[in-house]
Structure 1
C-alpha cells in the first residue's frame, strides 16, 4: 500500500491524470510451463483412470497468481515498460512527453501520466491482449476511497471503518478521544480469556487493514495484535476503545497535497525497553514525500 500512497502523492504534485482499469478473469490468462493434471469435472464423460492436463491456469490453482503476473509482466515489457526495482508490481515507461506509471494489484491497476496520448495508446494495447474494463478516473481502490481536487488527493476508508463498527456489534454511540488509555500496559495474563476469540481476531485483522489510511491507530493496533492467539476480556476492552475512537474520526481523510516538492524525509523513534514483560523495544517510523505522509509502521524489535 505504500506504493499506492506514493504514486498518488507523486501524481498530486505533478497534477497528472489518474485512471483505473480492471482485468476480467485475470488468472485465466496465465500460461503453464510445467505439467499440471486435474480430475475431470463431474459433468465431463471420462474413464475412471483418466485425468486432464491443464494448458492454461485456472482459479484455485497454486500456480495461477504467479502465472498471471508472469504473463502480464511479459506483455507490459513488450510495450516498453520496466519493472521498478523496489516494487515489481510498479511498471514505468519514459516517453518523449513524459513518463507513464502503471501499478498492478492482482487484477486491478492504476494508470497515471502527464502523457495523455500515451495513456490512451496503452489502454488500447492492453485491450488487445486481455479482456479489460476501463473504470474511468480513480474513485475506489481496494476499499480505499479516493477524492481529488486541483490541489490535492484525499484517501479515506470511512465506509470500511463503518462496516468494522457494525461487525463488532457496538450498539451505543459513545466516542473516545484517544485510541488507548494513557500509560496503560497490557500483558497476556490480564483479564479473563474469551470463550470464543473469533470476533476479536476478525476485528483486529480488519483494524490492521484500516491502518492503510489511519496512521494514528498504527501503534495501538500493534498492541492488540500481540494477543491474537489468546485474547482476554481486557484486551477486547482495548479493541472497543479503538473502535469508539474511530467512530469519532470516521470521516477524516489522509491528505496528499499538490503544493509541495518531491523532497523525501523520514523520522523514527523507539521506546527503550518499553515492554515490561519481554524487555523489548518498540520502533516507529514515518516517511514523508514533502508534506504527504506515504509510509509508517509501529513494530516491536
Structure 2
C-alpha cells in the first residue's frame, strides 16, 4: 500500500495519467488437484522492462521521454504514465494475454476511493467505513471526538473475557485495513490488535469507541497535493516502556514525500529498552530502515536520490547518530548506531532544526485535512535540535 501511495503522489505532482484494469476470471471456480507452476509473462521479460527490486509487483518501462509504471495486485492493475500513446499498446497486449476489463481513469483501487482535481488526489475509504458501521449497528451512534481516551491503559488481565472472541477479532481485523488511509486511528488499532488471542470486555468497549470516532467523519482520508516537492522527510518518536504487559517501548513514525504522507507505523519494539535514549534511538533506526526502502522504491520511479530529513526530540539520539563515539552506555545498541551513522556519513540522512510545533501541524493539515494530528503524535514534543558538526 505504501507503493500505491507513492505512485499516486508522484502522479499528482507530475500530472501522470492513471488507468485501472481488471483481469477477467482471475480465479477458477473448480478445485485444483494438480500442482500448478506460473511463470512471468514474456512481455515483461524484455530488456526495456524493469521489475522493481524492492516491490516485485511494480514494473516500469522508460523509452526516451515516455515513462510507464504498472502495479499489479492479484487481478487488479494500476497503470501510471506521462504518455497516453504508450499505454494503449500495453493494454492491447495484456488483453490478448489475460482478457482485461478497461475501467478507465482510476476511481477505485483495492477498496480505496480515488478522486482527482487540479489541486491533487484525494484517497479515502468512505464506503468501507460505512459498511463497518452498518454491520456493527453503529451507523446511527453518537460520534465522539477521539478514538481512545488518552489516559486509558489496556491490559491482558483487566476485565471479563468475551464469550465470543470472533466478534472482536473480526472488528479489529477490519479496522486494520482501514488504517491504510486513517492514520488517526493507527495507534489505537495497534493497541487493540495486541489482545486478539484473548480479548476482554474493556478491549471491545475501546474498539466500539473507535467506531464512534469514525462516525464523526467517515470520509476522512489522505490528500496528495499537486503543488509539492518530492523530497523525503520523516518524524519519529517513542513511548518508553509503553506496553503495560511486556514493558516494551512503542515506536511511531510518519514519512512524507513532499507534503504528502505516504508511510507511518505504530509498533512495539522487539526488545525492552533500558533507557529512554535507547528507545528513541531504536525508533530512529526503524525509521531509517523504512526511509532506505522508500528511497530505493522512488529511484525506480525516476526520482533522483536526495538527502532525507529526519526529525526527533532526543538530543542524545541525535548526538550518537552524528558522532562515532561509543562508550559503555551505548555498546548494547552499537549495531543500530553503526547503521544510522553510516547513512549520515554517506550523505543519505541529515537532521535539521524544527522551528515550532506549528510546522508539524501544518504538514498534517495539508496531508489529512485535519486541524491537528491528534492521537498518534499527541505526545510528540518537538524542541529545537540540530546535529552536532
Tell me if both proteins adopt one fold, taking TM over 0.5 as the criterion: yes
Matched, 1:5 2:5: yes
1:276 to partner: Cα distance: 3.1
Over residues 26-85 of structure 1, what are the superposed CA-to-partner deviations in whole Å (9 max), with x where a residue is unaligned?
Answer: 357xxxxxxxxxxxxxxxxxxxxxxxxxxxxx7657966x72xx334x432338321111
Matched, 1:25 2:25: yes
Partners of 2:26 and 2:44 in 1: CA distance: 14
Matched, 1:143 2:98: no
Please give the TM-score of this superposition, normalised by the length of structure 2: 0.66
1:173 to partner: Cα distance: 2.2
Q: 1:39-188 alignment to 2 at 5 Å? A: 67=38, 70-72=39-41, 74-78=42-46, 80-170=48-138, 172-188=140-156
Higher helix share: 2
Gaps of 5+ in 2: 270-389
The residue that corresponds to 1:260 in the other structure is 228
Matched, 1:284 2:248: no
Over residues 67-121 of structure 1, what are the superposed CA-to-partner deviations in whole Å (9 max), with x where a residue is unaligned?
Answer: 2xx334x432338321111111000000122210000000111001111111111
The residue that corresponds to 2:199 in the other structure is 231
Structure scoring higher RCO (CA < 8 A, sep ≥ 6) equals 1
Moved over 3 A (4+): 58-64
Matched, 1:273 2:250: no
The residue that corresponds to 1:45 in the other structure is none
- Between 210-219 and 247-256, report the one with greater CA deviation: 247-256
How many residues of Structure 1 are paired with residues of Structure 2 in the alignment? 269
Over residues 193-233 of structure 1, what are the superposed CA-to-partner deviations in whole Å (9 max), with x where a residue is unaligned?
Answer: 11111111111000000000001111100000011111111
RMSD: 1.9
Partners of 1:291 and 1:157 in 2: CA distance: 21
Partners of 2:159 and 2:230 in 1: CA distance: 48
Gaps of 5+ in 1: 29-57
| Equivalent residues of 1:168, 1:199 under 8 A apart | no
Partners of 2:71 and 2:244 in 1: CA distance: 42
| Equivalent residues of 2:156, 2:195 under 8 A apart | yes
Please give the TM-score of this superposition, normalised by the length of structure 1: 0.85
1:263 to partner: Cα distance: 0.6
Partners of 1:276 and 1:210 in 2: CA distance: 25
